[in-house]
Amino acid sequence: MTRVDFYVLKDGSRNDRFGLTCRLVERIYHSGALQDEQQAGSTHQERPAVPGSPRVLIHCPDPQQARHLDRLLWSFREDSFLPHGLVGEADIELTPILISSDGQPDREAQVLINLSPETEPPAFFSRFERLCEPLDHDPAIRAAGRKRYLRYREGGHPLYHHSVG
């Protein structure tokens, strides 16, 4: 059963859910797993990629936001490199971090990061071991996240909540 982690930015944080997503992806890639999730907002400590790092799919609501996230992942931290690409442009077999705006690619991934503002969970989320739901201060994003939380709870999924700065 898919584990669902909600990452909620604390009030007063200057980040948005796209910046939070960059930090989550960095942690997943460099640690080989989502360990110590509450430290996702901690100061940066460069770590080498762990062989067998989980494959990640980032689900964006539209192509414009997918491109925005693609640019952020290239530039969000000067000393960080996260091998990623857009589905349809990157080689999905060689790219450990994929960004999609039209659903899931044919390649298996262990972690799904959902940036969709929809109130329903992505139809394909149960194929993943982990689902990350980054939420920022936008009232509509938080309201949709609450509705998805209820859906996951009704489905019996293990739920975790992390407040990050």
Starting at the earlier edge strand, list the strands of the sheet with 130-135.
84-86, 97-100, 56-59, 111-114, 130-135, 3-9, 159-164
* Two tokens, residue 38: 């509450």
The verdict on residue 125 lying in a domain is yes
What is the Cα–Cα distance from 34 to 40, expressed in whole angstroms?
9
Question: In this structure, is residue 165 part of a structural domain?
Answer: no
- The answer to whether position 44 is within a domain reads no
CB half-sphere exposure, 117, CA atoms < 13 A: 13
In a domain, 130, yes or no: yes
Look up residue 165 and give its two tokens: 């700065």
Tokens at 119, concatenated: 């109130």
Could you list the residue range(s) of the whole structural domain that residue 141 is in? 3-34+54-160
In a domain, 70, yes or no: yes
21 lies in some domain: yes
Q: Residue 115 is part of a domain; what is its CATH number?
A: 3.40.50.10110
pLDDT in tens, the chain (165 residues): 999 999 999 877 777 899 999 999 999 998 865 544 434 443 333 334 445 688 999 999 999 999 999 999 998 888 878 999 999 888 888 899 999 998 766 678 899 999 999 999 999 999 999 999 999 989 999 999 999 999 999 999 999 999 998
**Residue 92 pLDDT:** 83
Examine residue 49 and state whether it is found in any structural domain, yes or no: no
Q: How many domains does the chain have?
A: 1
d(CA 140, CA 120): 13
DSSP helix, strand, coil percent of the chain (3-state; round to 5): 30, 20, 50
Q: Quick one: 64 exposed, middle or buried, by C-beta within 10 A (0-12, 13-18, 19+)? A: exposed
Residue 48 lies in a domain: no
